[in-house]
């Protein structure tokens, strides 16, 4: 159903060359989708709805995450009608929509909390995660580009907002509320401990570190540059410093108008940026490639709010081809959606997206 490009490199070689702006045999590609639309795609491809690896193989996805599961004691009480995250303690409820549904954050446990309540909010110990399966994952994904972390690591604003509420989070960051900052330190130390244990266990086989921070609304920064530099950037630098200690590239996920922070990302050693919402201010492919393409590799750029949802398969194919033409000039582009592909996305459009990526003539990028 999808004709993949001829390959002369492994996924690992392809992605690392992409990070270094070197010639590749085909575009690197990545994939992320909500469970409902993933199930539809999987069935169309002839797989079971929850079969992710077979879909990855069919699409030619080059990336795999090396993550770990929590195995420690129960930190948070269950609530009827809610899902409670076992590590971070945030709660969500299922909200249906015409295309399926999603988990919506609610019942913020630290909203209006006093300093004592914030100080007592549980944070897991890095030792309470299961690192044993890593060896099997390294064998299974031997030829893939492997990363530790994900878009939810660091993520100071969102991760705090999920337990405190976004308004209170932004106020407390702006005022540099010490109780809130100490909670963020505890949470970051947990994540850094997990990442370091993964990197040690993987024995040099992890290819890059991934973390995130949503810094933009559609048309303006979510916070001031000063707040980023003074409060959030020092946390990000800890993650970047860990990556550099292991000689690893760094990729950062950030939604909305986030290019205003790219110079700060570069300053702490970031090599690649993810999401690239083209409808947001100063996030168009030509703008980003011209201004930052000599220092940052780009991952994403295929909007989950544009033709992928509303257009025809031909329009999606054209969009992906045109986007790759810009972002991959001189190398450095991974074709991927800007967010998880949403439930209202036609399967034929998803297939058109990946077919366009496989058909793209990477040789033109270096002419």
Q: What pTM was estimated for this model as a whole? A: 0.96
Q: Is there a contact between 58 and 131 (Cβ–Cβ < 8 Å)?
A: no
Measured CA distances, 3 to 216, 313, 315, 352, 356 (Å): 37, 15, 18, 11, 10
Residue 172 lies in a domain: yes
Does residue 263 sit within a domain? Answer: yes
The total of structural domains in the chain comes to 1
Output the pLDDT for position 1. Answer: 76
Write out the two tokens for 275.
């999401």
Residue 158's φ and ψ, nearest 5 degrees, are: -65, -45
Q: What is the CATH number of the domain that holds 19?
A: 3.20.20.210
pLDDT at 102: 87
SS3 247: coil
Please calculate the CA angle 120-122-124 and round it to the nearest 5 degrees: 145
Look up the domain containing 190 and give its range. 11-74+121-366
Give dist(CA 219, CA 101) in Å, integer. 27
Tokens found for residue 137: 């994952």
One pLDDT digit (tens) per residue for the chain, 367 residues: 799 999 999 999 999 999 999 999 999 999 999 999 999 999 999 999 999 999 999 999 999 999 999 999 999 999 999 999 999 999 999 999 998 888 999 999 999 999 999 999 999 999 999 999 999 999 999 999 999 999 999 999 999 999 999 999 999 999 999 999 999 999 999 999 999 999 999 989 999 999 999 999 999 999 999 999 999 999 999 999 999 999 999 999 999 999 999 999 999 999 999 999 999 999 999 999 999 999 999 999 999 999 999 999 999 999 999 999 999 999 999 999 999 999 999 999 999 999 999 999 999 999 8
Residue with tokens 């491809």: 45
Any domain includes 201 = yes
Q: Is residue 241 part of a domain?
A: yes
């Amino acid at each position: 159903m999808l004709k993949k490009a001829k390959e002369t490199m492994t996924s690992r070689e392809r992605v690392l060359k992409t990070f270094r702006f070197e010639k590749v045999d085909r575009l690197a590609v990545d994939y992320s989708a909500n469970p409902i639309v993933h199930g539809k795609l999987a069935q169309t491809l002839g797989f079971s709805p929850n079969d992710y690896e077979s879909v990855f193989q069919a699409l030619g996805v080059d990336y795999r995450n090396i993550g770990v599961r929590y195995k420690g004691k129960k930190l948070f009480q269950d609530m009827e009608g809610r899902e409670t995250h076992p590590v971070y303690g945030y709660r969500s409820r299922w909200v249906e929509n015409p295309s399926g549904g999603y988990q919506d954050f609610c019942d913020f446990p630290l909203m209006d909390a006093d300093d004592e309540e914030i100080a007592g909010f549980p944070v897991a110990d890095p030792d309470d995660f299961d690192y044993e399966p890593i060896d099997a994952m390294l064998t299974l994904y031997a030829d893939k580009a492997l990363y530790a972390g994900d878009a939810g690591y660091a993520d100071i604003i969102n991760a705090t907002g999920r337990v405190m509420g976004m308004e209170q989070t932004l106020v407390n960051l702006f005022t540099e509320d010490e109780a809130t900052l100490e909670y963020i330190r505890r949470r970051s130390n947990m994540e850094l401990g997990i990442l370091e244990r993964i990197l040690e266990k993987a024995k040099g086989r992890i290819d890059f570190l991934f973390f995130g921070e949503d810094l933009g609304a559609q048309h303006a920064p979510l916070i001031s540059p000063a707040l980023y530099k003074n409060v959030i950037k020092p946390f990000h630098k800890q993650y970047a410093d860990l990556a550099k200690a292991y000689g690893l590239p760094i990729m950062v996920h950030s939604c909305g108008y986030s290019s205003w922070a790219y110079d700060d990302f570069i300053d702490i050693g970031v090599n690649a940026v993810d999401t690239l919402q083209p409808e947001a201010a100063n996030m168009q492919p030509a703008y980003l490639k011209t201004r930052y393409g000599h220092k940052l590799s780009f991952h994403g750029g295929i909007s989950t709010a544009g033709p992928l949802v509303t257009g025809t398969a031909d329009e999606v194919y054209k969009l992906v081809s045109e986007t790759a033409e810009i972002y991959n000039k001189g190398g450095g582009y991974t074709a991927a959606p800007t967010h998880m592909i949403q439930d209202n996305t036609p399967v034929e459009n998803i297939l058109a997206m990946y077919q366009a990526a496989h058909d793209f003539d990477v040789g033109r990028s270096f002419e």
